[in-house]
Protein backbone atom coordinates (compact mmCIF):
# COMPACT_ATOMS: atom_id res chain seq x y z
CA UNK A 1 0.00 0.00 0.00
CA UNK A 2 1.55 3.32 -1.11
CA UNK A 3 1.73 6.15 1.44
CA UNK A 4 0.93 9.64 0.21
CA UNK A 5 2.90 12.47 1.81
CA UNK A 6 0.67 15.02 3.48
CA UNK A 7 0.86 18.70 2.48
CA UNK A 8 1.87 19.51 6.07
CA UNK A 9 4.83 17.13 5.84
CA UNK A 10 5.85 18.70 2.56
CA UNK A 11 5.76 22.18 4.07
CA UNK A 12 7.94 21.03 6.99
CA UNK A 13 10.54 19.55 4.64
CA UNK A 14 10.53 22.72 2.57
CA UNK A 15 10.92 24.88 5.69
CA UNK A 16 13.84 22.76 6.93
CA UNK A 17 15.51 23.09 3.54
CA UNK A 18 15.09 26.86 3.62
CA UNK A 19 16.53 27.01 7.14
CA UNK A 20 19.56 25.01 6.05
CA UNK A 21 20.10 27.30 3.04
CA UNK A 22 19.79 30.41 5.21
CA UNK A 23 22.17 28.94 7.78
CA UNK A 24 24.75 28.13 5.10
CA UNK A 25 24.46 31.67 3.72
CA UNK A 26 25.06 33.11 7.19
CA UNK A 27 28.20 31.02 7.76
CA UNK A 28 29.41 31.36 4.15
CA UNK A 29 31.90 34.21 4.91
CA UNK A 30 33.51 32.21 7.72
CA UNK A 31 33.40 28.99 5.69
CA UNK A 32 35.03 30.62 2.66
CA UNK A 33 37.71 32.16 4.88
CA UNK A 34 38.30 28.84 6.61
CA UNK A 35 38.71 27.02 3.28
CA UNK A 36 40.94 29.70 1.73
CA UNK A 37 43.14 30.60 4.70
CA UNK A 38 43.27 27.35 6.68
CA UNK A 39 42.40 24.26 4.65
CA UNK A 40 44.07 25.35 1.41
CA UNK A 41 47.39 26.40 3.05
CA UNK A 42 47.54 23.10 4.93
CA UNK A 43 46.97 21.05 1.77
CA UNK A 44 49.33 23.26 -0.25
CA UNK A 45 52.13 22.94 2.30
CA UNK A 46 51.69 19.17 2.30
CA UNK A 47 52.13 19.16 -1.47
CA UNK A 48 55.03 21.64 -1.51
CA UNK A 49 56.85 19.55 1.11
CA UNK A 50 57.21 16.95 -1.63
CA UNK A 51 58.61 19.43 -4.14
CA UNK A 52 61.57 21.69 -4.82
CA UNK A 53 59.95 25.12 -4.86
CA UNK A 54 61.51 28.58 -4.66
CA UNK A 55 58.48 30.78 -5.52
CA UNK A 56 60.12 32.03 -8.74
CA UNK A 57 60.05 28.74 -10.63
CA UNK A 58 57.24 26.18 -10.74
CA UNK A 59 57.33 23.48 -8.07
CA UNK A 60 59.13 20.30 -9.11
CA UNK A 61 57.96 17.06 -7.51
CA UNK A 62 60.84 15.23 -5.77
CA UNK A 63 58.95 12.88 -3.45
CA UNK A 64 60.42 12.37 0.01
CA UNK A 65 63.78 13.96 -0.86
CA UNK A 66 63.23 16.97 1.44
CA UNK A 67 62.40 14.74 4.40
CA UNK A 68 65.39 12.51 3.65
CA UNK A 69 67.72 15.51 3.55
CA UNK A 70 66.34 16.93 6.80
CA UNK A 71 66.61 13.70 8.75
CA UNK A 72 69.84 12.24 7.38
CA UNK A 73 72.06 14.85 5.71
CA UNK A 74 71.22 18.23 7.23
CA UNK A 75 73.71 18.76 10.07
CA UNK A 76 72.24 22.15 10.99
CA UNK A 77 68.86 20.50 11.62
CA UNK A 78 70.42 18.36 14.35
CA UNK A 79 71.71 21.49 16.09
CA UNK A 80 68.31 23.18 15.69
CA UNK A 81 66.43 20.20 17.07
CA UNK A 82 68.82 19.96 20.02
CA UNK A 83 68.40 23.66 20.83
CA UNK A 84 64.61 23.39 20.61
CA UNK A 85 64.44 20.28 22.78
CA UNK A 86 66.65 22.03 25.34
CA UNK A 87 64.09 24.81 25.62
CA UNK A 88 61.18 22.37 25.72
CA UNK A 89 62.64 19.94 28.25
CA UNK A 90 64.19 22.54 30.55
CA UNK A 91 62.47 25.82 29.75
CA UNK A 92 58.85 24.68 29.86
CA UNK A 93 59.03 22.90 33.28
CA UNK A 94 60.99 25.78 34.80
CA UNK A 95 58.49 28.33 33.50
CA UNK A 96 55.57 26.25 34.77
CA UNK A 97 57.16 25.86 38.19
CA UNK A 98 57.76 29.61 38.45
CA UNK A 99 54.17 30.36 37.36
CA UNK A 100 52.72 27.85 39.82
CA UNK A 101 54.76 29.10 42.79
CA UNK A 102 53.84 32.70 42.00
CA UNK A 103 50.17 31.71 41.71
CA UNK A 104 50.33 30.03 45.12
CA UNK A 105 51.87 33.15 46.64
CA UNK A 106 49.32 35.41 44.94
CA UNK A 107 46.51 33.22 46.27
CA UNK A 108 47.46 34.03 49.88
CA UNK A 109 45.38 36.72 51.56
CA UNK A 110 47.51 39.85 51.86
CA UNK A 111 47.38 43.58 51.32
CA UNK A 112 47.49 44.84 47.72
CA UNK A 113 46.94 41.33 46.40
CA UNK A 114 45.05 42.62 43.35
CA UNK A 115 47.89 45.00 42.57
CA UNK A 116 50.47 42.22 42.72
CA UNK A 117 48.31 40.01 40.49
CA UNK A 118 48.10 42.82 37.94
CA UNK A 119 51.87 43.37 38.03
CA UNK A 120 52.61 39.71 37.38
CA UNK A 121 50.04 39.53 34.57
CA UNK A 122 51.29 42.60 32.68
CA UNK A 123 54.29 40.83 31.00
CA UNK A 124 51.93 38.48 29.16
CA UNK A 125 50.11 41.38 27.48
CA UNK A 126 53.17 43.50 26.66
CA UNK A 127 53.91 43.31 22.88
CA UNK A 128 56.74 40.91 22.11
CA UNK A 129 58.80 43.59 20.36
CA UNK A 130 58.59 45.87 23.39
CA UNK A 131 59.55 42.99 25.69
CA UNK A 132 62.53 42.19 23.47
CA UNK A 133 63.75 45.80 23.58
CA UNK A 134 63.50 45.83 27.37
CA UNK A 135 65.44 42.60 27.74
CA UNK A 136 68.06 43.68 25.22
CA UNK A 137 68.70 46.66 27.46
CA UNK A 138 68.73 44.55 30.63
CA UNK A 139 71.13 42.02 29.08
CA UNK A 140 73.41 44.56 27.39
CA UNK A 141 77.00 43.60 28.32
CA UNK A 142 78.24 47.22 28.59
CA UNK A 143 75.45 49.41 29.97
CA UNK A 144 72.65 46.96 30.75
CA UNK A 145 70.91 47.18 34.12
CA UNK A 146 71.96 43.69 35.23
CA UNK A 147 75.64 44.14 34.45
CA UNK A 148 75.60 47.67 35.88
CA UNK A 149 74.37 46.22 39.14
CA UNK A 150 77.07 43.52 39.06
CA UNK A 151 79.72 46.18 38.41
CA UNK A 152 78.43 48.26 41.33
CA UNK A 153 79.09 45.36 43.72
CA UNK A 154 82.51 44.60 42.23
CA UNK A 155 81.55 41.60 40.07
CA UNK A 156 82.41 40.99 36.43
CA UNK A 157 79.89 41.54 33.67
CA UNK A 158 78.08 38.45 32.37
CA UNK A 159 77.74 37.94 28.59
CA UNK A 160 74.08 36.96 28.81
CA UNK A 161 73.18 36.72 25.14
CA UNK A 162 76.64 36.65 23.61
CA UNK A 163 77.76 33.44 25.31
CA UNK A 164 76.98 30.07 23.73
CA UNK A 165 76.46 28.54 27.18
CA UNK A 166 74.35 31.35 28.67
CA UNK A 167 72.20 32.37 25.70
CA UNK A 168 69.57 29.65 26.12
CA UNK A 169 69.33 30.01 29.95
CA UNK A 170 68.92 33.76 29.41
CA UNK A 171 65.99 33.09 27.08
CA UNK A 172 64.49 30.72 29.65
CA UNK A 173 64.55 33.59 32.17
CA UNK A 174 62.60 35.73 29.71
CA UNK A 175 60.19 32.87 29.10
CA UNK A 176 59.59 32.41 32.83
CA UNK A 177 59.07 36.16 33.21
CA UNK A 178 56.15 36.22 30.74
CA UNK A 179 53.93 33.61 32.42
CA UNK A 180 51.01 35.86 33.29
CA UNK A 181 48.42 33.76 31.45
CA UNK A 182 49.58 30.57 33.15
CA UNK A 183 49.46 32.32 36.54
CA UNK A 184 45.82 33.30 35.95
CA UNK A 185 44.89 29.71 35.06
CA UNK A 186 46.71 28.40 38.13
CA UNK A 187 44.95 30.97 40.32
CA UNK A 188 41.57 29.77 39.05
CA UNK A 189 42.55 26.17 39.80
CA UNK A 190 43.80 27.05 43.29
CA UNK A 191 40.55 28.78 44.16
CA UNK A 192 38.62 25.66 43.16
CA UNK A 193 40.46 23.44 45.67
CA UNK A 194 37.91 22.57 48.40
CA UNK A 195 38.78 24.07 51.77
CA UNK A 196 37.55 20.88 53.41
CA UNK A 197 40.58 19.01 52.03
CA UNK A 198 42.96 21.35 53.85
CA UNK A 199 40.91 21.05 57.02
CA UNK A 200 41.03 17.26 56.81
CA UNK A 201 44.79 17.34 56.18
CA UNK A 202 45.25 19.62 59.20
CA UNK A 203 43.28 17.24 61.39
CA UNK A 204 45.50 14.39 60.16
CA UNK A 205 48.57 16.34 61.26
CA UNK A 206 49.84 17.47 57.85
CA UNK A 207 52.06 20.55 57.85
CA UNK A 208 52.03 23.32 55.21
CA UNK A 209 54.52 21.55 52.94
CA UNK A 210 52.61 18.26 53.11
CA UNK A 211 49.33 20.06 52.38
CA UNK A 212 50.91 21.74 49.38
CA UNK A 213 52.39 18.53 47.99
CA UNK A 214 49.51 16.15 48.70
CA UNK A 215 46.49 18.46 48.33
CA UNK A 216 47.31 21.59 46.34
CA UNK A 217 49.43 20.02 43.61
CA UNK A 218 47.18 16.99 42.87
CA UNK A 219 44.05 19.12 42.72
CA UNK A 220 45.76 21.52 40.29
CA UNK A 221 47.09 18.84 37.93
CA UNK A 222 44.41 19.49 35.25
CA UNK A 223 45.59 23.11 35.05
CA UNK A 224 49.21 21.93 35.07
CA UNK A 225 48.45 19.60 32.16
CA UNK A 226 46.80 22.39 30.17
CA UNK A 227 49.63 24.86 30.74
CA UNK A 228 52.19 22.15 30.00
CA UNK A 229 50.65 21.41 26.62
CA UNK A 230 50.25 25.08 25.73
CA UNK A 231 53.81 25.83 26.80
CA UNK A 232 55.17 22.87 24.86
CA UNK A 233 53.39 23.88 21.64
CA UNK A 234 54.39 27.54 22.02
CA UNK A 235 58.04 26.70 22.73
CA UNK A 236 58.33 24.36 19.74
CA UNK A 237 57.04 27.21 17.55
CA UNK A 238 58.95 29.98 19.31
CA UNK A 239 60.28 32.55 16.86
CA UNK A 240 59.68 36.24 17.53
CA UNK A 241 61.44 36.74 20.87
CA UNK A 242 64.55 34.61 20.12
CA UNK A 243 64.84 36.21 16.69
CA UNK A 244 64.73 39.72 18.12
CA UNK A 245 67.12 38.95 21.00
CA UNK A 246 69.73 36.74 19.35
CA UNK A 247 68.74 36.04 15.70
CA UNK A 248 69.85 32.46 16.26
CA UNK A 249 73.30 33.29 17.62
CA UNK A 250 75.85 33.19 18.98
CA UNK A 251 77.28 30.40 16.83
CA UNK A 252 73.79 28.87 16.32
CA UNK A 253 73.32 28.44 20.08
CA UNK A 254 69.75 29.77 19.82
CA UNK A 255 68.92 28.61 16.30
CA UNK A 256 65.51 27.20 17.16
CA UNK A 257 63.09 25.35 14.93
CA UNK A 258 60.97 28.39 14.10
CA UNK A 259 64.03 30.48 13.21
CA UNK A 260 65.48 27.75 10.99
CA UNK A 261 62.12 27.30 9.25
CA UNK A 262 61.93 31.06 8.68
CA UNK A 263 65.43 31.17 7.19
CA UNK A 264 64.68 28.42 4.72
CA UNK A 265 61.32 29.87 3.70
CA UNK A 266 61.94 33.63 3.53
CA UNK A 267 65.73 34.08 3.34
CA UNK A 268 66.78 31.07 1.25
CA UNK A 269 63.39 30.77 -0.52
CA UNK A 270 63.42 27.00 -0.11
CA UNK A 271 59.66 26.79 0.29
CA UNK A 272 59.48 23.07 -0.32
CA UNK A 273 62.15 22.40 2.29
CA UNK A 274 60.47 24.78 4.75
CA UNK A 275 57.12 23.03 4.22
CA UNK A 276 58.75 19.70 5.01
CA UNK A 277 60.22 21.24 8.17
CA UNK A 278 56.77 22.49 9.15
CA UNK A 279 55.18 19.06 8.74
CA UNK A 280 57.97 17.41 10.70
CA UNK A 281 57.40 19.95 13.47
CA UNK A 282 53.70 19.09 13.45
CA UNK A 283 54.52 15.39 13.81
CA UNK A 284 56.99 16.07 16.63
CA UNK A 285 54.41 18.13 18.54
CA UNK A 286 51.78 15.42 18.03
CA UNK A 287 54.22 12.78 19.30
CA UNK A 288 55.02 14.78 22.44
CA UNK A 289 51.32 15.46 23.04
CA UNK A 290 50.42 11.78 22.71
CA UNK A 291 53.19 10.78 25.13
CA UNK A 292 52.01 13.34 27.68
CA UNK A 293 48.40 12.20 27.40
CA UNK A 294 49.48 8.58 27.80
CA UNK A 295 51.08 9.47 31.13
CA UNK A 296 48.17 11.53 32.50
CA UNK A 297 46.56 8.51 34.17
CA UNK A 298 49.49 8.46 36.61
CA UNK A 299 49.53 12.08 37.68
CA UNK A 300 46.43 14.01 36.58
CA UNK A 301 43.45 13.98 38.97
CA UNK A 302 39.90 15.15 38.38
CA UNK A 303 37.81 15.45 41.52
CA UNK A 304 40.34 13.37 43.44
CA UNK A 305 40.26 10.41 41.03
CA UNK A 306 42.98 9.59 38.52
CA UNK A 307 42.10 9.17 34.86
Range of the domain at 260: 75-306
Domain-embedded: residue 69: no
Residues 233 and 297 in one domain: yes
Residues 53 and 83 in one domain: no
Interacting residues of 285 by C-beta distance below 8 A, sequence separation 6+: 232, 233, 236
Q: Is the pLDDT of residue 56 over 80?
A: yes
Residues 24 and 97 in one domain: no
What is the per-residue pLDDT for 307? 47
Q: Is the pLDDT of residue 293 over 90?
A: yes
- For the whole model, what pTM was predicted? 0.88
Residues 209 and 278 in one domain: yes
How much is the average pLDDT of 4-14? 61
What is the per-residue pLDDT for 19? 86
How much is the average pLDDT of 60-69? 96
Query: How many structural domains are present in the chain?
Result: 2
- pLDDT tens by residue, 175-193: 999 999 999 999 999 999 9
Residues 155 and 212 in one domain: yes
How much is the average pLDDT of 242-266? 95
What is the per-residue pLDDT for 5? 53
pLDDT tier for residue 142 given thresholds of 50, 70 and 90: confident
What is the per-residue pLDDT for 306? 45
Give dist(CA 69, CA 59) in Å, integer.
18
Amino acid sequence: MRTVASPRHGRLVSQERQNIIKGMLFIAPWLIGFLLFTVYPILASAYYSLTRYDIVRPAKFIGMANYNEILFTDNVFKIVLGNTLYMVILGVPISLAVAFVLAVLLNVKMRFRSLFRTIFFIPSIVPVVASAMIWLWLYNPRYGLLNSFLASVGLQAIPWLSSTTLAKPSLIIVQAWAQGSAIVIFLAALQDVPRSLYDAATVDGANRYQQFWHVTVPMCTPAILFNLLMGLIATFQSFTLPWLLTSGGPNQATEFYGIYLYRNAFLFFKMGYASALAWLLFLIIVAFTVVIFRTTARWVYYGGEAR
